[in-house]
A and B are shown apart, each in its own frame.
Chain A
């Protein structure tokens, strides 16, 4: 029922904002990463970057926006499951898809908000550092976030209790960042690890966002787009089998 979907999404948005810890942390973390690494690589003034960064700082920050969204998804799902909120919602005419989609939409909403904060901060502190096709980059970040969120549902299905939600999620996500190709080309990895890295959504997210960043556009990265969509479909398929409501 569509009516219930928008009402639930709006309520979940308000409920998330009312919880200062989770809300501020998820917005602040990418910003802090951006400002710290940004000031190291761009310098504090000038219109162009003076120091060659060992990796693309804005992409790292954008990746952390996506990962924050996933971490908050896993935590919220596990808390809702543990306290019987999922069970109560499921006993209403709300469909299971509606209940979980509302969470996805809220995460995507805050992904856009985080990116907006990043852009504003970038214009303020590192003018010229964020010269990018914004609509295209936003779309790339949203697709990446959606794909990693689907993996978040798989993690949320496996997390035993809400206490372990954050550490387990971190344990899944941070190694993925290392293998994403942001810090060193994954071609340098031994073959088994390279295959593994290619199965991770973060790798394709980084490849797509870097592509958009360099101006080569979506057409040159259709492989990454297809991989992100495929990972999304596989994870959602898996979720429908293993997701626990209580």
Chain B
């Protein structure tokens, strides 16, 4: 059994009459990248901020590294690193000044020059915060979150609003954290990001936990359908495949045919079938379901809705 680093049990939090988080329980294991995914307003940030100790939960218990985030805040803040959604610093603070201030606050501090270099910020040491690009700001916040070599790192919508290249840089940094043995707890509404980075994800919607598991498990469990789309000039290609094992349905549009089926070996089946029937194929691709499809199926609406 892996060691839980974060345990949340029956967490509840309301703002006035609005229920932000409702009876939510989850565990995050040591060394994994765990993603909380859901649309805006699903309760991701509230959950994360309760776990960080920034917010007081109305109900339930939370344990991080065996500590209570509210009661043991002083001990815990030396061991966790946080990055907030849409955070800012003083407009005219310089990168090195922020790093210098943060360094003074922790008992144990990493080599900050090496850290800035690793995050690609060494040339920006003397730049004012306001002059940094969105990606550079986020990398600075990641640097500040990692300055005391924390065991658990919290990243709230860390790539939101960034261009694809900056996003990929951040993804590389998160992979790097994992390789250094850190536990990463992140929130995102980008399914591609969750699928690529997370060992396990929890889908939350309207403050409730809908499902938790590895991205592959969730896809396998909720969206086992696979599709093969191929193009063939020959007549009757679709009809010859329709009766094959595992093929649930066939649709054709001109020379393009789509076969649907279930299970991991469906694609292999179709390839064998095409070979056996000696069908001339000019185009061939597979369509696999993604977390996005799982999300749609489980919640009845899209992630960006």
Chain A residues within CB distance 8 Å of chain B: 1, 3-4, 7-8, 11-12, 14-15, 18-19, 80, 83-85, 87-88, 90-94
A3 contacts which chain B residues (CB < 8 A)? 104-105
Whether B123 sits at the interface, judged by CB under 8 Å, is no
**B60-108 at interface with A (beta carbon < 8 Å):** 74, 77-78, 82, 84, 86-93, 97, 100-102, 104-106
Q: Are A14 and B82 in contact (CB under 8 A)?
A: no
Which residue among B86, B87, B100 has the maximum number of chain A CB atoms within 10 Å of its CB?
A: B87
The answer to whether A83 and B88 touch (CB under 8 A), given A92-B77, A93-B78, is yes
Contact between chains at B105 and A88 (CB < 8 Å): no
Contact assessment for B102 and A11 in the assembled complex, using a CB-CB cutoff below 8 Å:
no
> Across the interface, which residues of A come within 8 angstroms of B88, CB to CB?
83-85, 88
Number of interface residues, chain B, beta carbon within 8 A: 23
User: Once the chains bind, are A91 and B86 in contact (CB under 8 Å)?
Assistant: no
CB-based contact A84/B84 at 8 Å:
yes
Task: List, in ascending order, chain B residues with CB within 8 A of A94's CB.
Answer: 105
Which residue of the partner chain, among B87, B92, B97, B104, contacts A4 with CB atoms under 8 Å? B104
One of A11, A83, A88 near B97 (C-beta < 8 A): A11
Cα–Cα distance between A242 and B298 once the two chains are bound (Å):
42
Known: A4-B104, A92-B77. A15 touches B54 (CB 8 A): no
Contacts of A93 in B (CB 8 A): 74, 77-78, 105-106
Closest Cβ of chain A: how far from B62's Cβ, in Å?
16
Q: What are 19 pairs between A and B in contact, CB < 8 Å?
A: A1-B104, A7-B100, A7-B101, A7-B104, A11-B90, A11-B93, A14-B92, A14-B97, A15-B91, A19-B91, A80-B90, A83-B88, A85-B89, A87-B84, A87-B87, A88-B88, A88-B89, A91-B84, A92-B77
Question: Of residues A1, A15, A18, A91, which shows the largest number of chain B Cβ atoms within 10 Å of its Cβ?
Answer: A91
Question: What's the least CB distance linking B37 to chain A, in Å?
Answer: 22
Q: How far is the CA of A14 from the CA of B105 in the complex (A)?
A: 19
Chain A contacts of B54 at CB under 8 A?
87, 90-91
B52 located at the interface, meaning its Cβ lies under 8 Å from any Cβ of chain A in the complex: yes
CB distance from B148 to the nearest CB of A (A): 9
Question: Cβ of B100: which chain A residues have Cβ within 8 Å of it?
Answer: 7
Task: Specify which of A4, A84, A85 is in contact with B101 (CB 8 Å cutoff).
Answer: A4
- B67 → A minimal CB distance (Å): 15
In the complex, the answer to whether B90 meets A4 with C-beta atoms within 8 Å is no
Given A11-B93, A84-B88, the answer on whether A91 and B104 have CB atoms closer than 8 Å is no
